[in-house]
Chains A and B, each alone.
Chain A
Amino acid sequence: MDVTRVIIVAVGGQGNLLASSVLGEAALLAGMPMQMSEIHGMAQRGGVVESALIFGEARSTIISDGEADLLVGFEPAETLRAVQKCNADSVVITNLAPLMPFTVNIGKGVYPDLAQLQDLIRKKTARLIAFNAAKLANEAGNPLAVNMVLLGALTQVDILPFSVDNVKEAMGRKTKQQFLESNLKAFDLGFRAAEQAG
C-alpha cells in the first residue's frame, strides 16, 4: 500500500486533536498502519495546532515540506501558512471562516484577502475544496463541530483508504455520546460540501 500523508492545521480550541484521533481510530478499525504526531505549542493560549498523520507502511511521524498529499486547514490563514507542506499534486481542504489572530486586532498585520488566498492555493496545488465549515457546523446544531464537518469533507475526497463507515464508527468511539448526533450531521454536511465542490 502506498503511504498517504495528511497535515491538519487549526487554531487551539478547534478540535483538531479530536479529529486526528478519530482518523487514527478509523485506521485501527480498518486494520491499516498509521502514525501521527501533534505539535500544540500553547494551544490553549491561542496558538496554532498542527497534526501530521501518516497512513501506510512508514515509520516517520512527521511530514516534511512538499510531502503532504492532503492538507486540511480549519482556519483559512492557517491553511495558507501551511501551504509549503504541499506539492503540485496535493489536495487542499479549507474552512473559509476566519478566526482573527489577536495581532490583527491590535493592528499588527493584515488578514489575507479570502479570494486571493483561494486563488493562491488553487494555483499551486492540484485541487482546492473551500467552504464555510463554521456555517455548516451551526446548521448541524453544534458550532463546535467544525472539526467533524472537515472530517466529512476529508473522507469524501477519498484519499484515505478507509470507508465512511470506519470513520463514523470511530466517531462513535471517540466523541461524546451527547454530541454524536450533531457530529454525524456535521460530518454529512461536510461530506456533501466536498461532493458539491466537485
Chain B
Amino acid sequence: MGEKKRIELDYSKIESDRMRLNVGPQHPSTHGVLRLEVELDGEIVTEVVPHIGYLHRCFEKHAEKMTYPQVIPYIDRMDYVTSMNNELPYVMAIEKMLGIEVPEKVQYIRVIMCELNRIASHQIAVATFGLDAGAFTPFLYFFRDREYILAIFEKASGARLLFNYFWIGGLAADVHPTFKEDVLAIVKQVRKTNKEIEDLLIYNKIFIERTANVGILPPDVAINYACSGPVLRGSGVKFDLRKNEPYSIYDRFDFDIPVGMGEVGTVGDCWDRNIVRMREMEQSCRIIEQAIEQMPNEGDVQEKLPKKIKPPKGDIYMRAENPKGDLGFYIVSNGTDKPERVKARGTSFVNLSVLPEISKGYMFADLILILGSIDIVLGEVDR
C-alpha cells in the first residue's frame, strides 16, 4: 500500500485550531500511569510532552537507608517485568567491590534466569505492542507462554514476579531438581509460539502497514538520546553489552545481535524495533540451550560472606544488558553496611525521552504504536 511519509505542516500558511489532549494517566495504552500531553492538528500529532512521576517511590533515597541486601527487593520493583535482569548489575557491582568470585554454577543459573526473564519481558513488549495495534489474540498467546516461564521462577525462587533471587555472592536458593528439563521444554514452547505469532501478527499485512515507516528513529538520534536495547538496535546500531562488554559469563556463548534492517520499511521504524525483540527471543533460546548444556550439576550456590556486608570505601558503576536496554547502577560506598548513594540509570526513562522527538508529524494512532514500540515500564521510569 501507500508510502507513509512524515507529514510536515507549515503553520505559517495554514490557519488551524489545534487541540490539546491529555492521554493518561488512566488510558488503556500508556502502559501504566504515564500522562502524555498531546497537541493534535486534526489527527496529526504536532507536539508530545510526557509527564512522568506518578509512580515515584523514592527508590534511590530509600536505598541510602538500607543495608546492601535490603536494597535488592527495591531493585526488583523498578522494572517489575524483568526483575532478574535488574538484580544482576547490582549484585555484580557489590561482588566486584567486595572482590568475591561467585561459583560457576551460580553464574550459569544467573544467565539462564536472566535470559528466561528477557524472553518473558520481550513477550510482554511484543504482546502489548500488538494490543496497541488492535490485535488481542497474540497478546494472550504470549501471556500463556509467559505463565510457564513464571512457573519456573516460582519453583526456583518462590515468587512469580519480584524474585529477590540473586543475592550478593550467590543465589537465594538452589534451583529445583527438574530445572533443566523444565527450561528446555519452555524453550521449545517459546519457539513454537514465536513461529505462530510471526504468521499471525508480525508478517500480517495490516500490521506491517500500521508499523512500517512509522516512528522512524535514525541511528544518530538514537545515539544522541542515549537510547539502548532494542530501541537502539532497531535503528541498526549493533550494540549489545553482552557482546561488546561481556560481563558475567556471556563471552562463553555463541549468539548473534539482531538489528533492524528496514525489511518492510525504513531502518528504525516501529516494525524494526519490534522484530528485534522477536529475534532476540530466539537468541535467548540459543543462549539458554548452551548454558543448560554447560551448567555443572553440583556446587554451592552461595559464597561464604560476613554477616554484615561492608564493601570498602569507594564507588563503582556496573551496567548490564536489560531486556529494555542498558541498566546501570552507580554505587558509592562509605565503608559501612549501608550505601552512601545508589544511582540507577533507568533504561525506560532514557528511552522514553526520545518519544517527543520521533512522534511529531505522525497520526494519533501512530503515537500509541510508537510508545508501545519503545516498550517502557513506568515502574522504572519513575522509580
Instruction: Please indicate whether A and B come from the same complex rather than being unrelated chains.
Output: no
